[in-house]
Each structure stands twice: as structure tokens, then as C-alpha cells.
């Protein structure tokens, strides 16, 4: 994990310090020290050094300490981790839109007000108009705003061009 993180800079590592403090991992105290020392005799020193370096690096990453979350209540810990992981995953599937859009907020709010907030009856949102007026950008903003509410979703761009080519 850490090799990928170092190479690409995009790999997300979310450490969970389960019944251990990051400083114990960093300084190889307690169980971590015992485990590394046990392998010291059996494995190549380079492998053990890689493990030590990786554990030290992970100990400095922001993560969760199980004993510090709601007095060690595991269900709360799991909920927080799931919430964070889902947030990371959803971010990966957002469509690319310019950061500084002009004039889309009012249109987005207008469409959002027309949609059933419980999504009971809304199945398809169609946006039509002349070319070049921002329909695709508006659709992408809406998709990013609404997609997390659905288990399955898709964004069909350039439908006219794609359907004419037989896709």
C-alpha cells in the first residue's frame, strides 16, 4: 500500500490502530516489537527494515485509534470508518466540472426543487436546449449532487452522437 502511495501519491491509506497507540507502532513497542523481533531471526534484514519503515510511516498517518473513539465502542468505530471509506469512493466517481461555474447555482436549485426529495418517483432527468448553453455541465453538477443517493447510477453523455454511431 505504501509503495503505491509513494509512487502515485493518490493511494489512500486509512490506518486503524486497533487497541494500540500509534506511538507503539512507531517505536515497535509491545506486540509490534515482539512480532518484528520474532521475524528478525528468520527473515532477511532488508525485509525486516522495510516492515519497520512502513510501520513507522503508517504511525504518522491520520487514522483512528479504537480506544479513543466512544471509549472503545467498536460499532461507532466501524460506522466512522465506513462513512469515510464511502466518502472516498464516491469522490472517485464524481464527474469532472470546472471549479468556478457561473450561473449554474440557480438552475441546479430550480431542478432540485422539482425532484422528489425521497426519490420515490424520479427515475430520469432530461435536459434539452440549444448546443453550447451548458446542458452537459448542468447535468454533471446534478449527477455529482444526486448520485450518492442511489445504489446504481450512470451518466450518459453525448447520447445523440453515440446513438448515431450505433453504440
The separation between CA 51 and the C-alpha centre of its own chain, rounded to angstroms, equals 26
Residue 107, CA distances (Å) to 18, 25, 103, 123, 130 in order: 47, 51, 7, 19, 16
Which pLDDT score is estimated for 2? Answer: 87
| pLDDT beyond 80 at 135 | yes
Which pLDDT score is estimated for 165? Answer: 66
CB crowding 141-163: b at 16 or more within 10 Å, else e:
bbbbebbeeeeeeeeeeeeeeee
> Under a CB-based contact definition with an 8 Å cutoff, are residues 80 and 69 in contact?
yes
The one-character DSSP state at 18 is T
What mean pLDDT value characterizes the chain? 84
**pLDDT tens for residues 74-108?**
999 999 999 888 878 877 778 888 888 888 888 88
Min mean pLDDT across 21-25, 94-98, 122-126, 152-156 is at 122-126
Q: pLDDT over 70 for what percent of the chain? A: 93
Amino acid at each position: 500500500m505504501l509503495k503505491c502511495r509513494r509512487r502515485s501519491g493518490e493511494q489512500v491509506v486509512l490506518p486503524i490502530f486497533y487497541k494500540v497507540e500509534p506511538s507503539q507502532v512507531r517505536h515497535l513497542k509491545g506486540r509490534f516489537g515482539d512480532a518484528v523481533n520474532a521475524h528478525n531471526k528468520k527473515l532477511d534484514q532488508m525485509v525486516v527494515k522495510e516492515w519497520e519503515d512502513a510501520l513507522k510511516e503508517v504511525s504518522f498517518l491520520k487514522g483512528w485509534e479504537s480506544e479513543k473513539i466512544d471509549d472503545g465502542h467498536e460499532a461507532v468505530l466501524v460506522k466512522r470508518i465506513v462513512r469515510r471509506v464511502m466518502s472516498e469512493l464516491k469522490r472517485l466517481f464524481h464527474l469532472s466540472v470546472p471549479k468556478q461555474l457561473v450561473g449554474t447555482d440557480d438552475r441546479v436549485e430550480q431542478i432540485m426543487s422539482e425532484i422528489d426529495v425521497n426519490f420515490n418517483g424520479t427515475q430520469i432527468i432530461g435536459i434539452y436546449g440549444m448546443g453550447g448553453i451548458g446542458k452537459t455541465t448542468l447535468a454533471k453538477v446534478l449527477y455529482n449532487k444526486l448520485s450518492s443517493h442511489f445504489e446504481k447510477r450512470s451518466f450518459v453523455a453525448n447520447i445523440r452522437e453515440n446513438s448515431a454511431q450505433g453504440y
